[in-house]
Amino acid sequence: PSPPSRRKTNHQMSFILRRLFSSTPNVANMAVTKQQVQSIIDENKVVVFSKSYCPYCRQTKSTLDELNADYKVVELDLLPDGGEIQDVLEQISGQRTVPNSYIAQKHVGGNSDIQGLLKGNKLENLLKEANALKA
């Protein structure tokens, strides 16, 4: 592993490069995107913001499938405004990475959080409480 100072420098560099090469979001567009994202979270019992090629996202979706959960998936890499949605998710939850999961309108976290809830026998209960298990 890189020493902490080098990791910090790499993180700063990736942040700078992302900001340089990504389109600068229009404030009005970001407000609309934020409303849309919040609506998706509010209108669904379980939501997973994902990228179709991400192995951690696949594992989260597989875990939810195995529990027969009723959930909505938003594949950010397949949407033209996926980057903007990811920026908004970071504003809302403090998490930019995917999967970014919500159960009963509460931010649960990423795949390691979902797997931790599963191992602690808490995930199924959260899904039951959210009425998010298919019959």
- Predicted confidence at residue 93, as pLDDT, reads 96
Q: Is 107:59 a contact under the CB 8 Å cutoff?
A: no
Taking the domains of the chain in order of start, what are their residue ranges? 4-129
Average pLDDT over residues 6-32: 63
Residue ranges of alpha helices (H) inside 1-135 are: 4-21, 27-43, 55-66, 82-93, 111-119, 123-129
Q: Which DSSP category does 26 fall into?
A: P
Average pLDDT score over residue span 109-123: 98
Residue 28 has pLDDT above 80, yes or no: no
**pTM over the 0.85 mark:** no
Class at the top of the CATH hierarchy for domain 4-129: alpha beta
Rounded distance between C-alpha atoms, residue 63 and residue 68, angstroms: 9
pLDDT at 42 over 90: yes
